Amino acid sequence: MSELSIIESTPSPVTVASLSQDLIRLGVQEGDVLLVHSSLSSMGWVCGGAHAVILALQEVLGPSGTLIMPAHSGQISDPAAWENPPVPKGWMEEIYAHMPAFDPGITPTLGMGAIAELFRTIPGTLRSSHPQVSFSARGPLAKGITEDHPLTPQFGTASPLGKLVAYNAKILLLGIGFDSCTILHLAEALHPAMPRKEMGAAIMEEGQRIWKWFEDYDYDSDDFAQLGADYEAAGGEVANGKVANADCKLLSANPAVAFAFEWLSKHRFSES
């Protein structure tokens, strides 16, 4: 969508002040621990773009709140699994040998959107150390949430997602659906029926760049949209509303993960 068409689809300029009002109306509160998945393009024409959205989130959360965003870098992964697009098999060994190692200060996000990418670059923002599924955070709990992110299981109880449940965090889907709701991966990591797979990433280990192979769960978000719809239909506490032009959902992490665990048992692993 061109900028002109975005302007034409926006009734009035979206500002930090209007965004803050919309966030409060949706249920975001001062002092919240808030994981945000976002789509800037869904919001209409924002005066200040991604910067304005981050300012509004921080304004509503206040100094006692903690803001978290995904900083995933899926490009540092096994090229044999790349599909969009794939690369020739003859390139594999060269990629294993030369892919730059994950660097939390430099490695860009992939597919996380403009808001999350800008957020990770703000001075003082902390980022967890996982080469593929890191999270960025600012606020009083940022250090505890981002430190010691294990290589595997990447979405387990010791990961930032597990810590968010411990802090009774909220999840804001800002123009994004349940298919991108990463907290649901924690339910997968907790489930005994989850299959496992080999993964790989370029990392620094003992001061040397290496390609590291490891085993983790075979995470799959393909059914998360249905999972989320069923959660809402079952009376799950999900606040729906608009932030600017974006359709949004606000939910608490803990009950969503508990529901997801039982849902996976019934719908994905019923024959396991």
| Percent helix, percent strand, percent coil in the chain, to nearest 5 | 40, 20, 40
Position 198 in a domain: no
| Domain of residue 227, residue span | 3-74+109-192+222-261
Position 16 in a domain: yes
Alpha-carbon gap, residue 96 to 212, rounded angstroms: 9
Position 158 in a domain: yes
Confidence band, pLDDT 50/70/90 cuts, at residue 53: very high
Alpha-carbon gap, residue 67 to 151, rounded angstroms: 23
Task: Report angle CA 224, 230, 234 to the nearest 5 degrees.
Answer: 145
What is the number of structural domains in the chain?
1
Q: What is the pLDDT of residues 130-180, one digit of tens each?
A: 999 999 999 999 999 999 999 999 999 999 999 999 999 999 999 999 999
Position 135 in a domain: yes
**Model-level pTM?**
0.95
Backbone angles phi, psi at 226, to 5 degrees: -70, -40
Position 271 in a domain: no
Query: What's the mean pLDDT in 22-45?
Result: 97
Mean pLDDT of the chain: 95
pLDDT of res. 270: 84
Position 179 in a domain: yes
Alpha-carbon gap, residue 239 to 182, rounded angstroms: 18
Position 36 in a domain: yes
Alpha-carbon gap, residue 158 to 116, rounded angstroms: 22
User: What single letter denotes the amino acid at residue 73?
Assistant: S
Q: What is the pLDDT of residues 114-130, one digit of tens each?
A: 999 999 999 999 999 99
Position 18 in a domain: yes
